[in-house]
Structure 1
Amino acid sequence: MNLFLEISVLLITVIYSYLEALVKLFIPAKRKSIGAEIILITGAGHGIGRATAFEFAKHQSTLVLWDINKHGVEETADECRRLGSTVHTFVVNCSKREDIYSTAEKVKKNIGDVTILVNNAGVVSCADLLSLQDHQVQNTFDVNILAHFWTSKAFLPAMMRNDHGHVVTVASTAGHIGFEYLVDYCSSKFAAVGYHKALTAELSALGKYGIKTSCLCPVFVNTGFVKNPSTRLMPVLKPETVARKLLDGILTNKKMIFVPSSVNIFLFLNLFLPERALVALNKLQDLKFDAVVHGGKED
């Protein structure tokens, strides 16, 4: 195919894509059934992971819940069983590759092939770069992004054999926009967004169109990990709100899930506004949370 023809095909595809997106504004997207799926959620003992498990449980899916906190994950499991799901729990340290691999083998042997993988486990330190301890930086990357590699390498082969599955990456708007006192967290979430995009492209290149991918990018969520968050222009979200949006995105195979959707405006502005204007916008946003800052504590 010559270059002129390829460009013509590209333009036609762009026009078709815009028309398709316009139609979807008025016609609800088809929602898939997940009742027969085996769903693994990391970090299921708290926050978004727990709320997401509850949403899946309403569909009577088989749930495999991982968390480092035994008490927290068992509490989640009890409520999921009450909602009608079959639930299996494992205490897993997602900062440890061998812990992930060994537990994954138990899941595959005793439960079956995971068909929806929700990489949700995450940590945040809330400190400026000079106050961060080396082990904190290492742990942030181990949990927030490297664990995604190990879980995917464990469970993706079965998805690829069957050309069926869904890989969910829980990232953040901090994976698109940098914030002060969150340098390690933002860096790990930028990596998570990149992981999602690259994995999506790779699955397409390999012709595995039956394996879907989604990336969740919410603004601040009140999970208790970040103390006293507040912002002037964006809401501080409840985990339940985010979980409902996430499940809706999974059921409709949405690639990028922003919560709230108005985040797109800020991402657009970050691409085109001059640096001075971006600084002014950030000041207007007035993002605040408790953070350890070199030489003192920032409130």
Structure 2
Amino acid sequence: MADALMILSNVCKVLFWLVYTVYCWLEVLVLTLVPRSYRRKDIKANIVLVTGGGSGIGRLMCLKMAARGALIVTWDVSQKGNDETVRQVLASGGKCWSYTVDITDRQAVYTTAVKVKQQVGKVDILINNAGVVTGKKLLDCPDEAILKTFQVNSISHFWTTKAFLPDMMMTDKGHIVTIASMAGKSGLSGLVDYCSSKFAAVGFDESLRLELLIDTGMFQGFGTSTGVFVDMLDPDWVAGEVVDAILMNQPIIILPAYLQAAIILAMFLPSKSHYYLGQLMGADNMMDNFVGRKKVK
């Protein structure tokens, strides 16, 4: 009886997901037809912090946000670049503060974040934009350059987000923006370190987004305690599948195999439907009882 009720419950959840997906597609269609001018919200007086704001896309975003009345905070390792961004924002009639900070230095990020809150105010929009690229093949790339690429392009996001997200959650208002790249979705020759760091940035963004959606109760009431589809895999079976893949020169395996469908679906589903599917599969609570591997004495 219990098993029958569990199956019925899972079927209902899947049916709800299908109906919800149709709704999400209709929402996407309607919003696509609505002109952008009607969809843009007012960010006047919002505080926007842009890492890597001293040049390139970072500076351009500072200028565009300032043009809409936002108060701009630029973080960059280059004081000269920061000063030029401030000059251009002020010349355009905006307001801008600059902080010269190395975002790979965790303590410097936390210390500077405190200064921003004291001198400017609560950050409403954090844009993790700073990035570096070496452009060398793996064996030609110095170890220090690889570490720097990861520290700037992905690891720094942890420090900046931890510094400003709590205030956003307290007021239930804010944006965490991750500037990544298609290199974070598909590997490219000569960019092993860069692509890897951007894959990490994309994973950071997707995981954080799901974590925050669950925390805010977006799907409350439709959750699942064990996951409809995914259970813990048997280690012996996994080991055997990996060994077989090696013996057959198979470049990629996905276990269990049916998760390939989930990966394909993720490319086409509206984001809300994708997140709910993730919850159906137990992505929201799979680590709730995690204790780690016990050490063998």
Structure that is richer in strand per residue: 1
Q: Give the aligned partner of residue 14 of structure 1.
A: 21
For 2:80, which of 71, 80, 88 is the aligned residue? Answer: 71
C-alpha contact (below 8 Å) 1:77/1:88 kept by paired residues: yes
1:24 aligned to 2:37? no
Q: Aligned in 2, Cα 1:208/1:156: closer, same or farther, shift over 3 Å?
A: farther
Identity %: 42
**What is the aligned partner in structure 1 of residue 180 from structure 2?**
171
Counterpart check, 1:99 vs 2:99: no
- Structure showing the higher helix proportion among its residues: 2
Q: CA deviation at 1:59?
A: 1.1
Q: Does 1:45 align with 2:54?
A: yes
- Highest CA radius of gyration, 1 or 2? 2
Mapped to 2, the partners of 1:207 and 1:186 lie a distance apart of 31
The number of residues matched between the two structures is: 212
State whether residues 60 and 84 of structure 1, in contact with CA within 8 Å, keep that contact through their aligned partners in structure 2: no
Structure 2 unmatched ranges of 5 or more = 1-7, 219-262, 268-297
Instruction: Please state if 1:108 is matched with 2:125.
Output: no
Q: Deviations over 1:157-212 (max 9, x none)?
A: 10010010000001001000100010000000001111110111011010077xxx
Indicate which of 106, 123, 126 corresponds to 2:132.
123
Question: In the alignment, does 2:67 pair up with 1:58?
Answer: yes
Q: Deviations over 1:61-111 (max 9, x none)?
A: 111111111111110111111222211101011121111111111111221
Partners of 1:53 and 1:79 in 2: CA distance: 9
Out of 186-195 and 4-13, give the one that drifted further: 4-13
Partner SS for 1:130: helix
Give the secondary-structure state (helix, strand or coil) at the position aligned to 1:90.
Answer: strand
Does the alignment pair 1:3 with 2:10?
yes
- CA gap of 1:208–1:80, structure 2 versus 1, over 3 A, is farther
Shift of residue 25, structure 1, vs aligned partner: 2.5
List alignment gaps of at least 5 residues for structure 1: 210-266, 272-299
Q: Residues 102 and 81 of structure 1: is their aligned pair in 2 closer, same or farther, counting only changes over 3 Å?
A: same
Report 1:145-160 matches (<5 A): 145-160=154-169
What does 1:127-276 align with in structure 2 at a 5 Å threshold? 127-207=136-216
Q: Is the CA contact (8 Å cut-off) linking 1:43 and 1:121 kept in structure 2?
A: yes
- SS of alignment partner, residue 2 of structure 1: helix
User: Contact 1:60 / 1:83 at 8 angstroms: preserved in 2?
Assistant: no
Q: TM-score, normalised by structure 2?
A: 0.69
Q: TM-score, normalised by structure 1?
A: 0.68
**Counterpart AA for 2:172:** D
Equivalent residue for 2:237? none
Q: Which amino acid aligns with 2:96?
A: V
RMSD (CA atoms): 1.7
